[in-house]
Structure 1
Amino acid sequence: MKVLVTGSAVLLAAACGQAESAPAPAAHTVTSTTTTTPPKPALPSTSEVQRALFTLGYQTRQVTGQVDDETKHAIVAFQKVQGLPRTGVVDDATAAALRAPKTITPRTTAAGTHLEVDIARQVAYVVADGQVTKIYDACTGDNVGDRVTPLGDFHVYYQINFVEYAPLGNLYRPSYITTTGIAVHGGEPVEAVPASNGCVRLTDPSIDEVFPLLHPGTEVLIF
């Protein structure tokens, strides 16, 4: 007797005299497949993040390769717009959003330049002739007591081009939009959540960019 192993089948044949062996059936072919997980994309470098945010209109101003305060605020503003956790750190989700970012559509596309403030997202952005040209990390009223940022269509009626010392905190280059003291200003921390006394806070470098645009009569739309 002899045993022939082919694949997973065992064939048994008699070997006696001149009898012919029966033809062996075809062997089974076993194919193994291996599923591989594609490698996770590497996180972008700080320079790549700064370059991408600058291109998208966020408040990065230089590609330095260093994570400075304005870069952190730009990342937070981007995360706010994308609906991501507001950490100021580029993680996998933020990196993926940078590769395919959501864009902002302004509320009004009238000719000229105006500022829009999105209370839900806590960002402010400059709109020029219907196009969003700059996006800033912002902080509005925390809604405790009368610390509320009013909603509506306002216009700048006067500005102070220095630090104004007020009972509730210092206001850097405020542009007032109401007669009750609501202004767009710097001078205080810009948090990732509503935390102001009712004004619209931006970082000081952001105010330096926005202040010249908010001359008396400029529209400020808060929604």
Structure 2
Amino acid sequence: MPGGRGEGVAQLQRRLRQGHYWVGAVDGRYGGLTTQAVMALEKASGLPVDGVADAAVVQALDAPGPIVPRAAEAGLAADGDHVWVDKARQLLVVVRDGAVLWVFNTSTGTDEEYWHPTSGWQVADTPTGRFDVTWQVDGTSDGELGPLYRPKFFHSAGIAVHGSPSVPAVPASHGCVRVSNAAMDAIWAEGLMPLGSPVVVTGETPSN
């Protein structure tokens, strides 16, 4: 359970890592990163998403939902690298050499209208398609709609993968792709989204 600690939690963390769900360090503490990893597993497996490792989650660790990279439909080499944003399941998947390396919980645009301070009414859409990381900020970018932590921009409308202290189970952004701040630090540290990286965004936004 969230807040717990001990060898049972460490075993859960190891199994999540074996399933390619990014959980940070195996430290035996059921904190925010473990909760985020469990949420990603729940989403992939079609379970209710609450971040709690109950019996259904333990069972899903033995037979998780399929995560198949989308290289072919994006015109990419089957054995290549890319980042896949699955809007339908609200997951971000890092693909290396054609195989899943890490799966992160994410939160994309709500598809709802919002008021932009300079552009007026806009729709909080995360556009689908094949893009590339074109610029990045190794720090906090102070945008008109709020700060973006270490963003990797892949769309001319200012859409980026970025860190956030809030990555809920449902779409909640103005269009960007949120991951936890710690996950974003790992993406930078491990070179998972260098400039020029292909980004593939698929699926429809689920209703909240």
TM-score for both structures, normalised by structure 1: 0.77
Asked whether the 8 Å contact 2:46–2:65 carries over to 1, the reply is no
Secondary structure of the residue aligned to 1:165 is strand
Aligned equivalents of 1:83 and 1:102: distance in 2? 7
- The unaligned stretches of length 5 or more in structure 1 are 1-43
Cα-to-partner distance string for 1:8-43 (whole Å, 9 max, x where unaligned): xxxxxxxxxxxxxxxxxxxxxxxxxxxxxxxxxxxx
Cα-to-partner distance string for 1:141-177 (whole Å, 9 max, x where unaligned): 0111211100000111111111011121110111111
The residue aligned with 1:199 is: 176
The residue aligned with 1:46 is: 9
Aligned equivalents of 2:24 and 2:164: distance in 1? 19
Correspondence 1:169-184 to 2 at 5 A: 169-184=146-161
Matched, 1:217 2:185: no
Aligned equivalents of 2:141 and 2:152: distance in 1? 11
Identity of aligned residues (%): 39
The residue aligned with 1:150 is: 127
Secondary structure of the residue aligned to 1:183 is strand
Asked whether the 8 Å contact 1:149–1:200 carries over to 2, the reply is yes
RMSD, matched Cα:
1.5
How far residue 187 of structure 1 moved from its aligned partner, in angstroms, is: 2.9
The residue aligned with 2:119 is: none
Aligned equivalents of 1:51 and 1:80: distance in 2? 19
- The unaligned stretches of length 5 or more in structure 2 are 1-6, 114-122, 203-208
How far residue 188 of structure 1 moved from its aligned partner, in angstroms, is: 4.0
Return the match for 2:19 from 51, 56, 59.
Answer: 56
Aligned equivalents of 1:184 and 1:155: distance in 2? 11
Return the match for 2:62 from 86, 91, 99.
Answer: 99
TM-score for both structures, normalised by structure 2: 0.82
The residue aligned with 1:122 is: 90
Letter in 2 for 1:154: F
* Aligned residue pairs, count: 180
Aligned equivalents of 2:160 and 2:26: distance in 1? 31
Asked whether the 8 Å contact 2:85–2:200 carries over to 1, the reply is yes
The residue aligned with 2:116 is: none
Matched, 1:165 2:148: no
How far residue 63 of structure 1 moved from its aligned partner, in angstroms, is: 2.1
> Which segments of structure 1 move beyond 4 Å, counting only runs of 4 or more?
none
Return the match for 2:45 from 72, 82, 106.
Answer: 82
Larger radius of gyration: 1
